[in-house]
A = this chain, B = another copy of it.
Amino acid sequence: MEKRNLSLAHEAMQRHASEAERFLKELANANRLMVLCHLVSGEKNVGDIAEAVGLSQSALSQHLARLKDAGLITSERRGLMIYYRLCSAEAQAVLAVLQLIFCREHP
């Protein structure tokens, strides 16, 4: 039973690690991080985000689709524009830690 427990623990660890990997890969990109940081202060439309982040609309749209597919953001159309907002508490938690680490005034 010891061996079986160990391999069960190992499989659980692998499963958790794979989930964490999928999650972290969404964040591990400077442009997507900037998008998410901009969304922390409230919803924004694509054009506004593109300007803030400095990306072509097409490139940004692909990032947004990815983040939405991963469940980190949601979108809502109102008139011509489509507004995106953060919807993941987990992402917000990690963003907060990253901000402490990388966005200090005096590193």
Contact = CB atoms under 8 A, between A and B. Distances in A.
Given A13-B37, A30-B14, A20 B93 contact: no
A24 B31 CA distance: 13
A52 B14 CA distance: 11
B20 A101 contact: yes
Given A28-B24, A33-B21, A10 B102 contact: no
Copies of this chain, count? 2
A34 interface: yes
Chain B CB within 10 A, most for which of A17, A52, A94: A17
Nearest to A12: B103
A103 B16 contact: yes
Interface of A: 10, 13-14, 16-21, 23-25, 27-31, 33-34, 37, 52, 54, 90, 93-94, 97-98, 100-103
